[in-house]
Amino acid sequence: MAAPVWKWPETFNGRLEPGSSTPQGSPILGIDESGYDYGSKYYYLPYGYYYYSGYGINGAEHVFCLGSDSVAFEKHRLNINDAISVEQTFSVPVASQLLRFAWHMRTPSMPERRVLISNGRVEFKTAGLLGAGTGTAGILLIDHTDLFTADDTELLVRITGAPTPANNGIYRVSAIPARAGYVTFGTVAIIENASIVAEIGSNVTVEVLGLRWVGRAYTDIGGGMIERFNLVEPYGHTWFRNALALNVSKYSGAITVKFEMKLELVS
């Protein structure tokens, strides 16, 4: 399996003993401070009423890792809707309501959605974007509240309100030129629109779309995968969610559980 999903078995991916993810513990049997056992019939327990020990629901010290267990996040070129997942099929011997699990999701800094121009003037160029005599096509922001940056390269830009329908849509940004000839740096972008039409629009909106990682959990008891849980963790917020559960409604028998991480647009 090719990177970034797989690098070395049981070292950076798969079921491992974490080195960079520090355990905060997990609830054991749902017993509160007074000794009362809530059992598995409840969907949740009041926060803070747990005894903690190690990773996982029963104190396990190993985890399944979707990504890399490293302090410095690694960078890879990924496409929108790329996903990595791990799944396991097993048998539930006794009718149960909940399948308990723990989840720790560390998110790197992700691009945020930005409106560069709202109902303003934009020039669409089929040539001469960077000045006289250049053949580069793209867009020039005449009125703007924000500028393109070098980090916008390879992100998606959404354009609406152009007079010609062919100039509207969502397009990949090929490049933000470091030197833009006769125009101000950050006001031009080379976009992947083979049907672009030269014109100036007066009520155009240009947005750079953001990205996010979404974690999901699914179950399959014979009728296909059903999403039971999803999580979007903001950048810089690292929290060990130890009391999560999948509701299987007093089910017993064969079941497949899948955990997934997916790169999605913020539009």
Mean pLDDT over 182-211 rounds to 91
pLDDT for residue 243 is more than 70: yes
Looking at the structure of the chain, the number of domains it has is 2
Give the chain's radius of gyration (CA, Å). Answer: 25
Same domain, 33 and 87: yes
Q: Any idea which of 103-117, 123-137, 140-154 has the lowest mean pLDDT?
A: 123-137
pLDDT for residue 49 is more than 50: no
**How many of the other CB atoms lie within 10 Å of CB of 153?**
14
Mean pLDDT over 163-190 rounds to 85
pLDDT at position 241: 81
Among 158, 191, 208, identify where a domain stops. 208
Confidence class for position 28, pLDDT limits 50, 70, 90: very low
Same domain, 96 and 124: no
Tokens 């996903």 sit at which residue? 83
Tokens of 10: 């049981």
Residue 5 in domain: no
Burial grade of 135 (CB within 10 A; 0-12, 13-18, 19 or more): exposed
Same domain, 81 and 145: no
Confidence class for position 97, pLDDT limits 50, 70, 90: confident
Same domain, 103 and 122: no
pLDDT for residue 256 is more than 70: yes
Quick check: 245 and 100 in contact, CB under 8 A? Answer: yes
Query: Which residues have CB under 8 Å from 72's CB, separation 6+?
Result: none
Same domain, 99 and 150: no
Mean pLDDT rounded to a whole number for the chain:
77
Quick check: 162 and 122 in contact, CB under 8 A? Answer: yes
Question: Of 44, 21, 184, which is closest to residue 106 (Cα–Cα)?
Answer: 21
Residue 4 in domain: no
Query: Which residues have CB under 8 Å from 203's CB, separation 6+?
Result: 119, 120, 161
Same domain, 57 and 99: yes
Tokens of 62: 């190993």
Same domain, 101 and 215: yes
